[in-house]
Amino acid sequence: MEEIYPGFKECIDWKLDLVCWKLEGVAKSVSQAGTQKVPVRSEHVKGLFFAGDTAKGYGVAMDC
């Protein structure tokens, strides 16, 4: 990120590094499904996009 967006590291207020060797029982909450998912494009930061099963998406198996 720093290479593409110089100064990126200085703009981070906090971060959380997670390392899991095994992950079981992950289930979405109501706020992470359907119309309540976050949009793919950030409404507040130009050029910031979100991906994954909790971002809005369209097509087969997008809301499982």
Are 50 and 42 spatial neighbours (Cβ–Cβ below 8 Å)? yes
Question: Do 45 and 62 touch, CB atoms closer than 8 A?
Answer: no
Domain ranges, residue 56 = 23-64
Q: What is the pLDDT of residue 4?
A: 86
Number of domains in the chain: 1
pTM of the model: 0.45
Q: Are 50 and 37 in contact (CB under 8 A)?
A: no
Domain assignment of residue 15, yes or no: no
- Rounded Cα gap, residues 26 and 52, in angstroms: 14
Does residue 18 form part of some domain? no
- Is 11 domain-assigned? no
Q: For residue 33, is it within any domain?
A: yes
Q: For 24-64, how does the pLDDT look when each residue is reduced to its tens digit (9 = 90+)?
A: 656 667 777 777 888 889 999 999 998 877 788 776 555 55
